[in-house]
Chains A and B, each alone.
Chain A
Amino acid sequence: MCLALPMKLLSRSGDWGIGEIGGVRRQVMLTLTPEANVGQYVIVHTGYAIEILDEDEAERTMDLLDKIGAMES
């Protein structure tokens, strides 16, 4: 519960598209993320995209983690 990975959407055709991670491609169903665009990263569980990755948030998370420990107490 619940192995899901970010895959880059390389193409889409209606309800499905091709997702890619580390050079590996798989058909991905987009029924649950109809607004996903080519070029975005989608979180894929059992062949279905269940959410679109928010890349701005991802960057914010990394920035925050980077700052941890920078201010010595």
Chain B
Amino acid sequence: MRRLIRDLFLRYFDSPELAKLADAALLTSNGSRMAFTTDSYVVKPLEFPGGDIGRLCICGTVNDLAVMGAWPQYLSIGLIIEEGLDLRLLERIVASAADTANLAGVKIVTGDTKVVTRGECDGLFINTAGIGACPLGRGLSEQPIEPGDAILVSGTLGDHGVAILNARASLGLDAAVVSDCAPLNGLIAHLLHGPPTVKWMRDPTRGGAASVLIELVDSQSFGVLIREEDIPVKAEVLAVCEILGFDPLHLASEGKVVIVAKGEDARMALQLLKQHPLGRDAAIIGEVTSDGAGAVRLQTASGGMRRLLRPTGELLPRIC
């Protein structure tokens, strides 16, 4: 997919903002600074422990704006509905989206609906786009990322990924794991209104924390070192990963943020995160380093060091 974006879309859609491939585009219009983002949601199943596609489509877009240091304000919603979709299911999803929008303090101001023939989409696909005003709080610092900066996460990783895996009954696992799907603008506002210098944030959705950290160091003169024993992961998530042979760092979270803060502000940032209900399990997991440029290294709990790579293709359970 990255190749498709690089070789096809960027070639035709020629804009410096798009080329940055950030979670949201930062724009100026009539002297006002704002952020603009879009995302499409194709999750299966449509309802899962801890949420549904309605909650997800609001959170995902709100969070993409918030991690770029913008206050999310207005969303559009476009639904592609498969003919024959249970109307009670659709209503539950729409109600969920509305509740989540209220929770996040955003307004859905425009929308579109299409119905396609049975078999032409998997029940329901949703696209949301959002705009927000910059900055949120003091916004993101313009200071460049440098060795000594701290890497933090706002809570346990991989919950959403495991909740989805579990909801696909074919694996037969019974685990009390619910999706962490949540709007993060409140948590991020709390952090950005405080004193710490925050340089970079991303929400580790598809591809997990590994993917966002690899994106962080790509083509840079610095690297990242994270410590396995400091990474918060729920016991059930670890167990599912052990059984199926997955890495929790490759599984999606939909209510967490990975943060780079100035080194000396790390403890303060951690404290601020922990004050917020969505940041109770926050942790400092590593730092930016001068060696290992362009790579993410993991210090294993048993004392070794290895490189972290992106997950390859679809996540499949192993037998071997």
On whether the two chains bind one another, the answer is yes
Residues of A within 8 A of B (CB): 1-3, 5, 21-27, 45-47
Q: Cβ of A23: which chain B residues have Cβ within 8 Å of it? A: 175-176, 235-236, 239
**Majority DSSP secondary structure for residues of B touching A:** mixed
- Chain B contacts with A in 149-186, Cβ cutoff 8 A: 172-176
Are A24 and B174 closer than 8 Å at their CB atoms?
yes
Q: Cβ of B318: which chain A residues have Cβ within 8 Å of it? A: 3
Q: Cβ of B242: which chain A residues have Cβ within 8 Å of it? A: 5, 21-22
Docked Cα-Cα span, A1 to B318, in Å, equals 9
Q: Cβ of A2: which chain B residues have Cβ within 8 Å of it? A: 319-320
Docked Cα-Cα span, A25 to B174, in Å, equals 5
Name the 6 nearest CB pairs between A and B, nearest first: A22-B239, A24-B175, A25-B174, A24-B239, A23-B236, A1-B320
State which of B175, B235, B320 has its C-beta within 8 Å of the C-beta of A25: B175
Contacts A22-B235, A26-B243: A47 and B172 contacting too (C-beta < 8 A)? yes
- Chain B contacts with A in 275-305, Cβ cutoff 8 A: none
* CB closest residue in chain A, given B318: A3
* CB closest residue in chain A, given B174: A25
CB proximity of B314 to chain A, nearest CB, Å: 18
* CB closest residue in chain A, given B234: A23
Q: Cβ of B235: which chain A residues have Cβ within 8 Å of it? A: 22-23
Docked Cα-Cα span, A5 to B238, in Å, equals 13
Q: Cβ of B105: which chain A residues have Cβ within 8 Å of it? A: none
Any A CB within 8 A of the CB of B137? no
Docked Cα-Cα span, A21 to B240, in Å, equals 9
Q: Cβ of B320: which chain A residues have Cβ within 8 Å of it? A: 1-3
Q: Cβ of A25: which chain B residues have Cβ within 8 Å of it? A: 173-175
Any A CB within 8 A of the CB of B311? no
Contacts A23-B239, A24-B243, A26-B243: A3 and B319 contacting too (C-beta < 8 A)? yes
Are B243 and A5 closer than 8 Å at their CB atoms?
yes
Docked Cα-Cα span, A1 to B320, in Å, equals 4
CB proximity of A2 to chain B, nearest CB, Å: 6
Listed by A's residue number, 8 A-B pairs whose Cβ atoms lie within 8 Å are A1-B320, A3-B320, A5-B242, A24-B239, A26-B172, A26-B173, A26-B243, A47-B172
Can you name 16 extra interface pairs (CB under 8 A) apart from A23-B235, A24-B239? A1-B320, A2-B320, A3-B245, A3-B318, A5-B242, A21-B239, A21-B242, A22-B235, A22-B239, A22-B240, A22-B242, A24-B243, A25-B173, A26-B172, A45-B319, A47-B172
